[in-house]
Amino acid sequence: MTTDLSAHDRLSTLDRTWPHLERVTGAVGLAAIVLIFGSVIVIGEGEPPTVATVAQSARYFREADGAWLQAASALFAISLLVFLWFAVGLSQILRRAEPDPPWCSTVAQLSGVLAVAFGLVNTSIEAAAHRGDVIDPTVAAYAWDVGTFGFANARLALGGFALAAGLAARASGLFPRWLAWLGIVSGALLVLARFVWSADVLWTFPYLAMWLWMLITCVLLVRRGPSVSVSRRTAP
């Protein structure tokens, strides 16, 4: 009898834990969006074009040699860790509902980790700006190119995250079908946009669409009521 009551208590705890995780994940995701865009707007002030000349790169790093860029870069690094918590949380939520084997949600989690890793490791712009008053112009151009290619790879990982999460959401029925397709399409286009990394007009649209998908997903998670029941669907 005691064993039955204990099992019931554990089930009740799980029923309370998952809705709480959904709301926390949504709130963390919203915080990540605000922090990422807030820091990127500051860092991007006065940036040269994606395919910058040697003179443009050197000028940017000379003018960016200040405490404001380092502070914004630190905030951006923190925002990536916040995004990591969101990516892991969403992957866990999707894994619970995705039909076995839950491989799409697993790929989503790994892609989120890759996106954060690319962002944290890619510090060439911060390093060049730190020595902006003495950096050689050719070295400045190289640092800018390294940062540009690093950002392109980070977008690739973000596209993989949205694509895999969208596929998992479509299979599980956890989110509206149109939202799942928004993640799938924006993620797939963002992956393909790696081939046109230098054409801002071609990768910007799927990039912003991916963030729109994440924003709507976070809002739905925050607003999801405690009465919503989630169970693993059986693959046909």
pLDDT for res 153: 96
Say if residues 78 and 60 touch (Cβ distance below 8 Å). Answer: no
- Let me know: does 203 contact 155? Beta carbons within 8 Å: yes
Give the separation between CA 234 and CA 227, rounded to whole angstroms: 22
Q: What is the pLDDT of residue 125?
A: 86
**Overall number of domains in the chain:** 1
Q: Which of 161, 70, 157 is nearest to 118 (CA)?
A: 157
77 lies in some domain: yes
d(CA 33, CA 36): 5
pLDDT, position 8: 47
Structural domain of 90: 18-223
- ∠178-40-87 over CA atoms, to 5°? 45
141 within domain boundaries? yes
Burial of 159 (0-12, 13-18, 19+ CB in 10 A): buried
| Residue 211, pLDDT score | 98
Whether the model pTM is above 0.75: yes
Q: Is residue 70 part of a domain?
A: yes
Residues sharing a CB contact under 8 Å with residue 202, sequence separation 6 or more, in sequence order: 193, 196
**Would you write out the chain's pLDDT as a tens digit for each of its 236 residues?**
444 445 444 445 555 678 889 999 999 999 999 999 999 998 888 888 888 899 998 888 888 766 777 888 999 999 999 999 999 999 999 999 888 889 999 999 999 999 999 999 998 988 888 887 888 999 999 999 999 999 999 999 999 999 999 999 999 999 999 999 999 999 999 999 999 988 888 999 999 999 999 999 999 999 975 544 455 555 44
At residue 14, the pLDDT reads 52
In this structure, is residue 236 part of a structural domain? no
3-state secondary structure the chain: CHHHHHHHHHHHHHHHHHHHHHHHHHHHHHHHHHHHHHHHHHHCCCCCCCCCCHHHHHHHHHHCCCHHHHHHHHHHHHHHHHHHHHHHHHHHHHHHHCCCCCHHHHHHHHHHHHHHHHHHHCCHHHHHHHCCCCCCHHHHHHHHHHHHHHHHHHHHHHHHHHHHHHHHHHHHCCCCHHHHHHHHHHHHHHHHHHHHCCCHHHHHHHHHHHHHHHHHHHHHHHHCCCCCCCCCCCCC
Residue 46: what pLDDT? Answer: 80
Q: What are phi and psi of 230, to 5 degrees?
A: -120, 130
